[in-house]
Amino acid sequence: MAGLKYDLAVIGSGPGGYVAAIRASQLKMKVAVVERDRPGGVCLNWGCIPSKALLDSAETMESIRGAGKEHGIQTGEVSVDFKRVIARSREAADKLARGVLFLFRKNKIDYFEANATVSSPHTITLAQAEGKKAPAAAAIEAERILIATGSGERLFPGMTPGDGLLTSREALVYDRLPESVIVIGAGAVGLEFGYFYRAFGAGVTIVELEKQMLPGFDAEIAEELRRAFVKRGTTVMLGHAYKSIARRDGRLAVTIEAVAGGAAQTIEAEVVLVAVGRRPLSPGMGLEKIGAEVERGGFIKIDDSFQTTCRGVYAIGDVVRPPLLAHKASAEGIAAVEIMAGVRQPGFDLLSIAGCIYCQPEVATVGLSEAEARAQGIEVKVGKIPFRAIGKAVATNRVEGFVKIVAGRQYREVLGCQIIGHGATDLISEVVLGRTLEATTAEFGKTVHPHPTLSEAIMEAALAAQDEAIIV
């Protein structure tokens, strides 16, 4: 079939796949996208977007609760229609998913709803996807194939979601406000949902295997965040391993054990949210048949050009390597097609990908932490500024947290930055840009930041890294 021959076929329409497809179309490729679920992937439908809608509701709740004591604004009793909270987040997801389809049409990208199998380096076989109509074609041919299938929620062996046992995916549509929640895993997802349920008044217990929240993050950030959660009435149990789960009188009982030793204990709640990471969705596509190697952990092996070990087949996003982040997938998608088109050199700077967590206080980090830099034998200078020293933060009573800038001692290049506090996820972009431009702390310090803003904390932290901070 002549009409079904493409320059590029993308499997997966998440933030990696749909962005890559549009960029490829801009670069004059004829593009097809295959998706088995909904356009926009996990990010738009089951991740970033709907969860941010929920967190927005949670923040609104938090500020209404504090309005009386804080601002003297009396609200009377506050009640929540939790079904509306969930419905609002679905509306946001639906709107954006429709937006993706619009962008496909605008860029003349053919969209197929189907399960994809890579049957040869240039052929994708399409099969009817669950709950969808039969696909418009049985197979498509393409000069190049880009795999952007992303990742799925991880569960403990033998667990199946349902009856109050949730992963983030179920939690996003669980429209009854639970009276108590146990969150297993204090990573980004666990913390965001932990904050969300707590803000609406649920009793929340967060259980984490490692000795700190956000394992792998800067320890000071993790400790500041733990304090913020405890202050909001959340129970945080670090260094505890999950052992088993059982149903007891319509509730869920989770048995955990301190890693340091001691007797096992059982805690109960109405709902248990399992947030112990994600797994790359590389199986089931026939990769082994075309000789595309999959590494330990299920990640597809790629080279500097995002090409798999099967020539002509490329892969990007969650399915190739951490960090499992939407904006990393998009950036890799753009890089991959630009490399294919010969308008960009191979290579990709993973160290300039910011990690963001949207609970309150927010956390945003980029590059190396102080400990990571030191472990690499780099001599560092660290500048740290608490938000309590920043005028705007005091005026708006958002004094939780701090900014930390890690600079190389020799050249003062910004090796990394860690921010915890209100607006952290928006503030970090300045530092990411600085890293792209290879700015040193001198440029951050010399750049006049408007007053009063929270961004002054970045300027001051940069100055602090050269022992020239004004305000501390």
413 binds another protein (CB under 8 A): yes
Q: Which is nearer to another protein, 249 or 379 (CB)?
A: 379
Residue 470 Cβ vs another protein, minimum distance, rounded to whole Å: 16
Site for another protein in 96-135 (CB under 8 A): none
Q: Which stretch binds another protein (CB under 8 A): 19-27, 33-41, 73-81, 432-440?
A: 432-440
Of the candidate residues 410, 429, 433, 470, the single one contacting another protein (CB under 8 A):
410
Whether 451 is a known active-site residue: answer yes
Site for another protein in 377-396 (CB under 8 A): 377, 379
Return the half-sphere exposure (C-beta side, CA atoms, 13 A cut-off) of residue 403. 31
Q: Which is nearer to another protein, 266 or 376 (CB)?
A: 376
Residue 274 Cβ vs another protein, minimum distance, rounded to whole Å: 42
| Rounded CA separation 186/199 (Å) | 17
Query: Which one-letter DSSP state was computed for residue 319?
Result: G
412 binds another protein (CB under 8 A): yes
405 binds another protein (CB under 8 A): no
| Rounded CA separation 363/423 (Å) | 9
439 binds another protein (CB under 8 A): yes
| Rounded CA separation 221/224 (Å) | 5
Transcribe 100-114 into DSSP letters: HHHHHHHTT-EEEES
437 binds another protein (CB under 8 A): yes
- State the number of binding residues for another protein (CB under 8 A): 14
Residue 439 Cβ vs another protein, minimum distance, rounded to whole Å: 5
Q: Which is nearer to another protein, 102 or 411 (CB)?
A: 411
Could you tell me whether strands 313-315 and 139-147 are parallel, antiparallel, or unpaired per DSSP bridges? parallel
- Segments of 300-369 assigned E as strands: 313-315, 355-357, 362-367
77 binds another protein (CB under 8 A): no
Phi, psi (degrees; rounded to nearest 5) at 134: -65, 140
Q: Which is nearer to another protein, 265 or 345 (CB)?
A: 345
Residue 440 Cβ vs another protein, minimum distance, rounded to whole Å: 5
Of the candidate residues 56, 59, 338, 443, the single one contacting another protein (CB under 8 A):
443
Residue 379 Cβ vs another protein, minimum distance, rounded to whole Å: 6
438 binds another protein (CB under 8 A): yes
Instruction: Give Rg (Cα) of the chain.
Output: 24
376 binds another protein (CB under 8 A): no
144 binds another protein (CB under 8 A): no
Residue 467 Cβ vs another protein, minimum distance, rounded to whole Å: 7
Within 72-218, residue ranges assigned H as helices are 82-106, 168-171, 188-199
| Rounded CA separation 37/132 (Å) | 8
Q: Which is nearer to another protein, 23 or 412 (CB)?
A: 412
Cβ atoms < 10 Å from Cβ of 279: 17
Q: Which is nearer to another protein, 333 or 408 (CB)?
A: 408
Of the candidate residues 440, 445, 454, 456, the single one contacting another protein (CB under 8 A):
440
Residue 20 tokens read as 């890559």
351 binds another protein (CB under 8 A): no
Residue 23 near residue 337 (C-beta atoms within 8 A):
yes
Q: 111: closest CA among 153, 140, 89, 144?
A: 140
426 binds another protein (CB under 8 A): no
| Rounded CA separation 431/406 (Å) | 11
345 binds another protein (CB under 8 A): yes
Residue 110 tokens read as 């053919």
Q: 348: closest CA among 384, 383, 307, 385?
A: 307
**Which amino acid appears at position 199 of this protein?**
A
Q: Which residues bind another protein (CB under 8 A)?
A: 345, 377, 379, 410-413, 437-440, 442-443, 467
Catalytic residues: 451
